[in-house]
């Protein structure tokens, strides 16, 4: 494997804007990055000079290698300013590569342009720990999100069109147009409808012998419009699309219905891209997606509409992970972008599996060789452990068969003070006094939030390292308090890191702790077997029991209230055989609870589930808590107002 070439950082004080830092670094050509981490030329598909896709057949070549070490980065309950989870992911990878000469990958999600142009900004990391070029990272990359949106909306169009034709034609006319007769008397049946033929058991005899009743059963899906769950998507924060009426043109003959849009990164297609283990697996998952129920209560799928093959064709390149680099030249896989408060909030299984094999060692390597030669894959799950981490472990790990060696929980003094009773923190507004001066009492009170996240992670048997993301106004006493409470709560270690200001060098202590923890070298790990436990069993547990396990054990709720719509969906999905799936709960990221105003560690409250949707292709049920929205809105002052393109064609003004 070629020697790793570190890109030197030119550290400037005060730290410039992210896009200035990104532009002042000269990246390596992406083919050089690929070669350095063991990707062969035939496995790399460059998209310009600084990004490429990696072919999935690399897994066939590397199948005999033992995986490298798998590190999950997540965080405490954040503020609207973010606490540096992505920045820590990148800084840790930079340090492992540049300071410890380890092959290290940062595996992150592709950012939605909704937050990029809204308030939150991009997701490239920040300061001297970011993915570059940050403008290419935050805008399009290789077009995967657009492919997801196109696939999703093709299915929506197919669904509405099918209902229109069924409502305006007889069985005979539908049969004639859907499967026209050829000159030899046979029927031209679209390839995409053969799975439906098999599903109905009609493949046991020639089409010419089908009865009128069987033809009717084949051509009519009999969709109940009131059960439609599939929405169109757009990769933009557009609140006015939350509720719309479709079918109002005269050509639709009065077939109107109320629906709405989701943001693209909250779509089931995006979750499927993140959770698929192969192209074939993605094809099967896309076919299983449920869009509605029939008038007799049967689930209607993408396969029933004959759409799954076309969706797979749209997604065939998007499923290949993208590779980029950090400011210090270490490799980054950027793939999939499921929203963290609505969807699973993790990058793709395929990116993780490819990186783990590249970072791996031969299966016959000795413990000493493994300690010396193992690489590290640092992947993230947002927003906090109790949301992103819980879904990562209960949904993504179930789908991948992988489990993390270490969980890193990112904390900041600022966020912990918010949970200790500090004033509200607002994006774009000056920080109140308590956040820029030492306040140990407020901090100690807020550390209960961190302790709860650590305890939640320990329920899975995982080893936890707390990364204290240093900010300029922090004091040593405040860091000591965080470490004291972290260790008391069950963390293996708590380590201060200054990667935002210093790049990989600032994360050296954190990287050293992660290496020791991954190889179980801390005294507290000795004599304790490595184990992993899921929070709940999928088989034998009802939908209600699984939701209650998450709400009570992770969130601290006293009880769960299932509102009428949710109760109806539970009955429907149980009758349809979907009760054995894991659960993804969509809720606010700013509290353990459903209420963003409840800081710290709220308890004794009632957790409301207002609705449940079936993401059968993704492999989970999707519960909506309280008033969570599946497409965000824009603020008065938005990020897009600062974005401009200069005379050289360079993008300026991104976060």
Tens digits of residue pLDDT in 85-111: 999 999 999 999 999 999 999 999 998
**pLDDT level of residue 601 (50, 70, 90 thresholds):** very high
CB 37 within 8 A of CB 103: yes
Closest CA to 582 of 421, 420, 395, 426: 395
HSE-up of 480 (CA within 13 Å, CB side)? 7
Output the pLDDT for position 121: 57
CB 442 within 8 A of CB 421: yes
**pLDDT level of residue 124 (50, 70, 90 thresholds):** confident
Measured in whole angstroms, how far is the alpha carbon of residue 589 from the centre of its chain? 14
How far apart are the C-alpha atoms of 185 and 102, rounded to whole Å? Answer: 66
Contacts of 206 (CB under 8 A, 6+ apart): none
Closest CA to 450 of 464, 461, 437, 436: 464
How far apart are the C-alpha atoms of 178 and 192, rounded to whole Å? Answer: 12
Output the pLDDT for position 655: 61
Fold assignment, 145-314: Domain 2, N(10)-formyltetrahydrofolate synthetase (3.30.1510)
CB 93 within 8 A of CB 375: no
pLDDT at 606 over 70: yes
Output the pLDDT for position 641: 73
Distances (CA, A) of 343 to 55, 161, 272: 26, 28, 11
Where residue 571 falls (left for φ over 0; alpha for ψ -120 to 50; beta otherwise) is: alpha
CB 473 within 8 A of CB 437: yes
Cα dihedral sign, 602-606-611-614 = positive
**pLDDT level of residue 645 (50, 70, 90 thresholds):** confident
- Domain range list for the chain: 18-142+317-521, 145-314, 543-624
According to CATH, the superfamily of the domain at 18-142+317-521 is: P-loop containing nucleotide triphosphate hydrolases (3.40.50.300)
pLDDT at 427 over 80: no
CB 30 within 8 A of CB 323: yes
Residue 109: exposed, middle, or buried by beta-carbon count in 10 A (0-12, 13-18, 19+)?
Answer: buried
Mean pLDDT calculated for residue range 414-442: 92
pLDDT at 119 over 70: no
Q: Is it true that 145-314 and 543-624 share their CATH fold?
A: no
Output the pLDDT for position 451: 98
List pLDDT tens digits, range 381-399. Answer: 988 999 999 999 999 999 9
Mean pLDDT calculated for residue range 297-305: 96
Output the pLDDT for position 120: 54
Q: Considering the chain, what is the average pLDDT of its residues? A: 94
The residues with which 181 forms a beta bridge, in sequence order, are 187
How far apart are the C-alpha atoms of 620 and 623, rounded to whole Å? Answer: 10
Mean pLDDT calculated for residue range 451-472: 97
pLDDT at 449 over 90: yes
**pLDDT level of residue 637 (50, 70, 90 thresholds):** confident
> For residue 600, which phi and psi values (nearest 5 degrees)?
70, -130
Output the pLDDT for position 1: 65
Residue 421: exposed, middle, or buried by beta-carbon count in 10 A (0-12, 13-18, 19+)?
Answer: middle
CATH architecture of 543-624: Roll (3.10)
How far apart are the C-alpha atoms of 650 and 1, rounded to whole Å? Answer: 34
The residues with which 75 forms a beta bridge, in sequence order, are 410
pLDDT at 631 over 90: no
pLDDT at 550 over 80: yes
Mean pLDDT calculated for residue range 458-463: 96
Mean pLDDT calculated for residue range 375-383: 94
Tokens representing residue 196 in the block: 């439906």
Q: Is the pTM of this model over 0.85?
A: yes
Percent of the chain with pLDDT over 90: 85
HSE-up of 487 (CA within 13 Å, CB side)? 12
């Amino acid at each position: 494997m070629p020697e790793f070439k570190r890109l030197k950082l030119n550290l400037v004080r005060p730290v410039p804007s992210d896009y200035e830092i990104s532009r002042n670094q000269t990246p390596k050509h992406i083919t050089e990055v690929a070669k350095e981490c063991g990707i062969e030329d035939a496995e790399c598909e460059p998209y310009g000079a600084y990004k490429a896709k990696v072919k999935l057949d690399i897994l066939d070549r590397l199948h005999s290698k033992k995986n490298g070490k798998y590190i999950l980065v997540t965080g405490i309950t954040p503020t609207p300013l973010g606490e540096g989870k992505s920045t820590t992911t990148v800084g840790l990878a930079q340090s492992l590569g540049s300071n410890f000469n380890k092959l290290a990958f940062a595996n992150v999600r592709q950012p939605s342009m909704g937050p990029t142009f809204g308030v939150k900004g991009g997701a490239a990391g920040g300061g001297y720990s970011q993915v570059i070029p940050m403008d290419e990272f935050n805008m399009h990359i290789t077009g995967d999100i657009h492919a997801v949106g196109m696939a999703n909306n093709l299915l929506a169009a197919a669904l509405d069109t099918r209902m229109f034709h069924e409502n305006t034609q007889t069985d005979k006319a539908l049969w004639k147009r859907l499967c026209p007769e050829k000159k030899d008397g046979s029927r031209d049946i679209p390839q995409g409808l053969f799975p439906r033929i098999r599903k109905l058991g009609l493949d046991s005899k020639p089409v010419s012998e089908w009865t009128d009743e069987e033809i009717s059963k084949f051509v009519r899906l009999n969709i109940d419009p009131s059960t439609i769950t599939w929405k169109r998507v757009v990769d933009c924060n557009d609140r006015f699309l939350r509720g719309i009426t479709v079918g109002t043109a005269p050509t639709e003959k009065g077939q109107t219905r109320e629906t709405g849009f989701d943001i693209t990164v909250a779509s089931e297609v995006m979750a499927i891209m993140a959770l698929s283990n192969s192209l074939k697996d993605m094809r099967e998952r896309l076919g299983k997606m449920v869009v509605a129920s029939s008038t007799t209560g049967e689930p209607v799928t993408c396969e029933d509409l004959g759409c799954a093959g076309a969706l797979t064709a749209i997604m065939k390149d998007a499923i290949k992970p993208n590779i980029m680099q950090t400011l210090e030249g270490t490799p980054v896989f950027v793939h999939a972008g499921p929203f963290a408060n609505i969807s699973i909030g993790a990058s793709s299984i395929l990116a993780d599996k490819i990186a783990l094999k590249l970072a791996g060692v031969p299966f016959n390597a000795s413990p000493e060789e493994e300690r010396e030669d193992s690489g590290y894959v640092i992947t993230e799950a947002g927003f906090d452990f109790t949301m992103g981490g819980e879904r990562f472990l209960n949904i993504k790990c179930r789908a991948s068969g992988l489990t993390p060696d270490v969980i890193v929980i990112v904390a900041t003094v600022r966020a912990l003070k918010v949970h200790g009773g500090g004033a509200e923190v607002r994006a774009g507004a000056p920080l109140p006094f308590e956040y820029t001066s030492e306040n140990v009492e407020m901090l100690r009170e807020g550390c209960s939030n961190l302790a709860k996240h650590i305890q939640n992670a320990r329920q899975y048997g995982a080893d936890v390292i707390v990364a204290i993301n240093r900010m300029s106004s922090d004091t040593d006493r405040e860091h000591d308090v965080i470490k004291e409470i972290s260790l008391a709560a069950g963390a293996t270690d708590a380590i201060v890191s200054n990667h935002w200001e210093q790049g990989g060098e600032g994360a050296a202590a954190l990287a050293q702790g992660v290496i020791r923890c991954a190889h179980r070298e801390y005294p507290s790990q000795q004599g304790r077997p490595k184990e992993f436990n899921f929070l709940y069993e999928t088989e034998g547990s009802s939908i209600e029991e699984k939701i209650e396990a998450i709400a009570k054990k992770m969130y601290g709720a006293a009880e769960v209230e299932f509102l009428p719509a949710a109760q109806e969906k539970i009955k429907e999905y149980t009758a349809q055989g979907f009760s054995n799936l894991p659960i993804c709960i969509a809720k606010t990221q700013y509290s353990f609870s459903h209420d963003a105003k409840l800081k710290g560690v709220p308890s004794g409250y009632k957790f409301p589930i207002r609705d449940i949707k079936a993401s059968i292709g993704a492999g989970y049920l999707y519960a909506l808590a309280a008033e969570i929205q599946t497409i965000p809105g824009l603020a008065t002052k938005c990020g897009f107002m600062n974005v401009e393109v200069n005379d050289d064609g360079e993008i300026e003004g991104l976060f």
